[in-house]
Chains A and B, each alone.
Chain A
Amino acid sequence: MFDINEMKKNVSDKFNKVSESKFEPESVIQKDEPKKRATPSTQLASIGPSIHFKGELTGEEGLIIDGQVEGTIDLKGNQLIIGDNGKIKADVFAQTIIVNGTLTGELHGKERVHISKTGKVQGNIFSPRVSLDDGAKFKGSIDMSETQHEKPQPNLQDNQLKRA
């Protein structure tokens, strides 16, 4: 398992300028939310365009992905931004998910999911609020009920039953 808390936050100045002007992540940070979520936009962890990651990616802070990720992404109550160059084949769990790049898989947005005009999503979305920009591509299903937004925890009873 790969923990993004351990990642160095070496976001380049150039990338910061892009993320501030384009993604506007501050707009989704609520004042009354816990301190751990009030991360300044410039300190969002990032996965750059040259990174190709396979596996289970977890963390407790916001993340921008401009590279390629395959597997599972679980940011719990935090924000995930897929950059223009981001290519994701994964099931994603986050508070807010903004897609500017390409994503194939299930999106579980506890608060909302947004697909921008450059975004392409193929898969199923579970979120109470889903929005699209003109030009966004989406094919799949959307469950707008307020359930199934968090990654299911392993069921101990099931495991015990399997062992038995």
Chain B
Amino acid sequence: MLPQLQPALSEYYSDNAEPLKTRIFESIWETFNQSNTTRTEKPKILDLGEAQPDSFNFYSGQAGYLTIADCIKPLSKLQWPEVENPNPILTKQIEEIIPPSKTQYDLILGWDSFNFIPSKILPFIHNHLLGFCTKKTLIHGFLFTSENRPVQPSSFKILDSDKMQHSVANDQVLQHTPLTPLAINKYMPNFKYARSVLMRSGLQEFVLTRK
């Protein structure tokens, strides 16, 4: 049975766009700027979302190396293979969506991907992302804490380190079971749910640090 579509979110978003005060993202950049005084390289960023002009303007001044993977939608469409050993199939599918690279990143922007990627598949994503990580890599993201979430991954524009704009394609939502910090710790065993801030809209901004 298909999940029931419900009109909602209008209480959160006018014109399907909502300003976000991003305290954790701001503190991440403060940390990078502080460490910039002791190192010459600007941070390397892996953005799992799609290219956004406003975010580019932000990255231009702040980042040294940026990869736009534009992979949240294809990752959210991954399904658990109907075979005994799904490991090679899933691994190959994930590698096609995010090609392996020798570059290791300081920050991975996961946006709302954790709300859309099937939880059984998250450990495979975790294993693949480890190849892009150093011992200090951070993963930043947002969780939908209500029992409704947008039908498809939304878009986030970085306006400044403490300000983003969250846009959904339309105001239709699906019922879902929100992912908990405990579940994220379970599915992402090399990371820990280090800090989170609950916003008025019901979005929870969080950061994962390496264990």
Contact = CB atoms under 8 A, between A and B. Distances in A.
Interface residues of A, number: 16
A96 B101 CA distance: 27
Given A131-B53, A132-B51, A133-B53, A138 B68 contact: yes
Interface string A29-72: 00000000000000000000000000000000000000000000
Nearest to A122: B70
B63 A144 contact: yes
B196 to A, nearest CB: 29
Contact of B65 (A133, A137, A144): A144
Nearest to B66: A142
Nearest to A143: B65
Q: Which of B52, B59, B68 has the most CB of A within 10 A?
A: B68
A131 B57 contact: yes
A134 B57 CA distance: 12
Contacts of B53: 131-134, 136
Contacts of B185: none
B56 interface: yes
A20 B80 CA distance: 52
Contacts of A130: 56, 60
A89 interface: no
B68 A139 contact: yes
Interface in B24-51: 42, 51
B189 to A, nearest CB: 28
B60 to A, nearest CB: 6
Contacts of B52: 132
A129 interface: yes
Question: Mostly helix, strand, loop or mixed at chain A's interface?
Answer: strand
A143 B64 CA distance: 6
Contacts of A129: 60
A141 B67 contact: yes
B63 to A, nearest CB: 6
B103 interface: yes
Contacts of A138: 51, 68, 70
A141 B63 contact: no
B51 A141 contact: no
A23 B57 CA distance: 21
A127 B129 CA distance: 26
Given A131-B53, A134-B53, A136-B53, A141 B103 contact: yes
A140 B60 contact: no
A131 B56 contact: yes
Interface in B97-130: 101, 103
Interface of B: 42, 51-53, 56-57, 59-60, 63-70, 101, 103
Interface of A: 129-134, 136-145
7 contacts: A130-B60, A131-B53, A131-B56, A141-B101, A142-B65, A144-B42, A145-B65
Q: When A and B form their complex, which 9 residue pairs have the shortest distance between CB atoms, in order from nearest?
A: A138-B51, A141-B67, A132-B53, A142-B66, A139-B70, A132-B56, A143-B65, A138-B68, A134-B53
